[in-house]
Amino acid sequence: MSYGPDQILEGEGNSDYERYIRTSELLRLQKGPEEWVHRDELLFTVVHQTSELWLKLATSEISKSLEYLAANNPKMALRLFPRILLCIEYCHEPLDMLEQMSPWDYQQVRRALGHGSGFDSPGFNSVRKVIPGLWDEFTRLLEAEGLTLLELFLNHEEHDELYRLAEGLLEIDERMYLWRTRHFKVVERSIGAKVSGTQGTPVEVLGRLNSFLFFPELWEIRTTITNYAISQEGEN
Ligand code: HEM
């Protein structure tokens, strides 16, 4: 293939595609066969690097939606929620790929990881840092409307935007929770449940972290609604 004068961008690579996407730099970010302790290092690296990229995009979208919320514009914030959810979702399926590694082969890959641990994932740590801000903005908007959470749920049709925001937050929480649960099973399947990770954290501790929720109030409100419905039945 020849690249004509229609290629106009500066940079490494033969075509504007390669220069814009920076494919040369990107594809150099994985070790080559000459450096592998095991060939599954490529599989392991691709899964982690792609997850980091999706989480980078998730952080950017959450940050932008926080800006919209701070400007009292939940409508535009909500427009970004499907993107945020897809970013988290796109970190789920690659976990299936990791289960293609045999536990013994993973032990060979593990030798190359040093003290590398998911606790130090920049993607997860930045997502974890920005998500709680969504709750602060949501409760601020709720208070501005003079509503309690229960009132919002009982009158959701009247307060459609705030209600959709509440459900969007719950959806983020659920997908993060599902990722942790799925990741835990992958860990158990790869290295077992009664051992420690690369930084010495027992896998059992990881299992306990699974139950973490960003927005417990949005889960508890379901119980409150059920109890409220029961109390209403008693009155009728
Ligand atoms: C074979 C695959 C994997 C194994 C065996 C594994 C193992 C572990 C272990 C043992 C821990 C506990 C901390 C430690 O001691 O390191 C952990 C935590 C973690 N891992 Fe993985 N992991 C795998 C894949 C992934 C992938 C693909 C990601 C995505 C970026 C990831 C992200 C994380 C995160 C964010 C934590 C902290 C969890 C939390 O704070 O709730 N891991 N992993």
At 135, which CATH number? 1.20.58.480
Domain assignment present for residue 48? The answer is yes
Nearest atom, ligand 1, residue 205 CA: 12
pLDDT score, position 227: 97
pLDDT tens per residue across span 2-31: 555 689 999 999 999 999 999 999 999 999
What's the whole-number average pLDDT of the chain? Answer: 95
Residues of the chain with pLDDT under 50: none
Domain assignment present for residue 2? The answer is no
Domain assignment present for residue 176? The answer is yes
pLDDT score, position 232: 93
Helical spans, DSSP H, in 30-159: 40-70, 74-79, 81-89, 94-98, 103-110, 122-144, 149-154
Structural domain that includes position 204? 33-235
Domain assignment present for residue 7? The answer is no
Domain assignment present for residue 26? The answer is no
Q: Ligand 1, residues 52, 100, 126, 183: which to mutate, most atoms within 8 A of Cβ?
A: 183
Structure tokens at 210: 């699974």
Domain assignment present for residue 167? The answer is yes
Domain assignment present for residue 142? The answer is yes
pLDDT score, position 46: 98
Domain assignment present for residue 73? The answer is yes
Q: Produce one character per residue of 171-192: b if its CB has 16 or more CB atoms within 10 Å, e if not.
A: bbbbbbbebbebbbebbeebbe
One-letter amino acid of 39: R
With a 6 Å cutoff on the Cβ, whether 181 touches ligand 1 is no
How many domains in the chain?
1
Contact 188, 109 (CB under 8 A): no
Q: How far is the CA of 219 from the centre of ligand 1 (A)?
A: 26
